Structure 1
Amino acid sequence: MKLVWSPEIALKAYTDTVISCGDMEGSSVAEFISAMAAGWNARLVVETWTRGGAIASSIGLAIATRHSGGRHVCVVPDEDSRSAYIEAMRNSGQAADVVVGRPEEAVEGLEGIDFLLVDCSRNNFASILRVAKLGHRGAVLICKNASSGATVGFRWRNVLDQGLRIVRSEFLPVGKGLDMAYIGAKGGGSGKKGQSRWIKTVDSHTGEEFVIRK
């Protein structure tokens, strides 16, 4: 088994996130990642968050898992962040499971991650990626704020287990930059190439349209 793309579910999650986030900070990123997480039918969606961070991405992921039937887990570093996160999500009408602890340790304790979102503006983002235990169906990994100085010299192959198969990776000029990688199913060969698909997203702030081939 491997992650299978469902365009109808992706569109529903995208639309619901547009309605829920409106002009909220980070809404363009939220809309995109919501469509990605839902479209890939992710069962375990994990993100990291710190007090003061934008909440739009979390709303998008909560909506995505509602459509995919998955579980949304947010890792926060302390109780203050936990309280702020829960309140912000409650005010938006959403909810998520919250795990408190050092991000690297908390993420390492989660098995079978299908979708992982980390923040490149945090110095430990590469360490979090390095310890993530990905699902056997494959996984989608996304680094937001990828235009920050912390990503200088960043390479997916330098932070991921050498046994993982990186099917493709892309940098997208959405928000402050998204660096993403699709990891193949464990034990899966390269196989025959299927028909190419295209994913279209629009930055709600600038009106720019991005078309992504996968």
Structure 2
Amino acid sequence: MKLVWFPETASKAYFDTVKSCQLQKESGVAELISAMAAGWKAKLIVETWSQGGPITTSIGLSVASHHGSGRHICIVPDEESRVEYAAAMEKAGMSSHIIVGEAEKVVESLVGIDFLVVDCRRNNFARILRAAKLGQKGAVLICKNANSRAASDFRWRSVVGGESRIVRSIFLPVGKGLDIAHVGARGGGAASGKAEKRWIKRIDRESGEEFVIRR
């Protein structure tokens, strides 16, 4: 099994996010991320947020979770951040499940993440990605503010390992930069490897000699 793309769901989430964020300062990033989360019909959407940060991405992810029948979780570092975040989401007419704690530890406790958004401006963003327990069908990982110095030497393969593999990655000059990676279904690489390692019989027409080749 793998993630399946639903363009109609993506379009609906995109336009609903545009409407919901009309009075917000930031634009572009929220609509795009919302469309991606909804288009993949992500069931467990996780993001990190801290006090003073923009709320538009959270609005977009909340919209996406409704369109994809998923769950949106926001991890905040302290009680002050939780209060500010909850008030801002309530004002926007949105809601999400808020967890207070160290992002790395919280992410470790969540199993089956298929859409994760982190902020490159935070020094621990790579550690959060490494700690994430991704879903069996694969996942989409997004780093916001990827133009920041902290992300200059970042490589996706350094944070995604084990049974997971990078299907594709791309940098988009949207907002302050989005670094996006699509992680394939777990075990997908192993399956394709088995398909390649097969025995093929070849017979020389002139000599009649038989050759067995492993591919």
The reply to whether TM is greater than 0.5 is yes
The equivalent of 1:60 in structure 2 is: 60
The equivalent of 1:169 in structure 2 is: 169
Letter paired with 1:26? E
SS at match of 1:69: coil
Aligned equivalents of 1:7, 1:122: Cα separation in 2? 32
The equivalent of 2:26 in structure 1 is: 26
Aligned equivalents of 1:54, 1:93: Cα separation in 2? 16
Aligned equivalents of 2:159, 2:186: Cα separation in 1? 18
Are positions 1:35 and 2:35 aligned together? yes
After the TM superposition, which residues 67-78 of structure 1 pair with which residues of structure 2 at under 5 Å, given as runs? Answer: 67-78=67-78
The equivalent of 1:110 in structure 2 is: 110
Aligned equivalents of 2:142, 2:182: Cα separation in 1? 9
The equivalent of 1:206 in structure 2 is: none
Aligned equivalents of 1:97, 1:54: Cα separation in 2? 17
Aligned equivalents of 1:191, 1:63: Cα separation in 2? 35
Letter paired with 2:46? V
Aligned equivalents of 2:7, 2:26: Cα separation in 1? 23
After the TM superposition, which residues 7-156 of structure 1 pair with which residues of structure 2 at under 5 Å, given as runs? Answer: 7-22=7-22, 24-156=24-156
Larger radius of gyration: 2
Structure 2 residues not aligned, in runs of 5+: 193-215
Letter paired with 1:76? V
Aligned equivalents of 2:51, 2:26: Cα separation in 1? 15
Aligned equivalents of 1:150, 1:107: Cα separation in 2? 21
SS at match of 2:52: coil
Letter paired with 2:59? I
Aligned equivalents of 2:186, 2:169: Cα separation in 1? 17
TM-score, normalising length: structure 1:
0.87
Distance apart, 1:163 and its partner CA: 2.8
CA contact (8 A) 1:27 1:57 kept: no
Cα RMSD, aligned residues only: 1.4
How many residues in Structure 1 have an aligned counterpart in Structure 2? 192
Structure 1 residues not aligned, in runs of 5+: 193-214
SS at match of 2:8: helix
Aligned equivalents of 1:19, 1:190: Cα separation in 2? 43
TM-score, normalising length: structure 2:
0.86
Distance apart, 1:190 and its partner CA: 8.9
- Using CA pairs under 8 Å that are at least 6 residues apart, name the structure with larger relative contact order, 1 or 2: 1
Distance apart, 1:188 and its partner CA: 1.9
CA contact (8 A) 2:165 2:189 kept: no
SS at match of 2:147: coil
CA contact (8 A) 1:169 1:181 kept: yes
CA contact (8 A) 2:160 2:166 kept: no
Distance apart, 1:23 and its partner CA: 5.3
The equivalent of 1:202 in structure 2 is: none
More deviation in 155-164 or 3-12? 155-164
Cα offsets for 1:104-163 (capped at 9, x unmatched): 111111100010000001111001001000000100000000001111110001122243
Aligned equivalents of 1:13, 1:152: Cα separation in 2? 31
* Distance change in 2, residues 1:23/1:175 (3 Å): farther
* Distance change in 2, residues 1:190/1:32 (3 Å): farther
Distance apart, 1:189 and its partner CA: 4.3
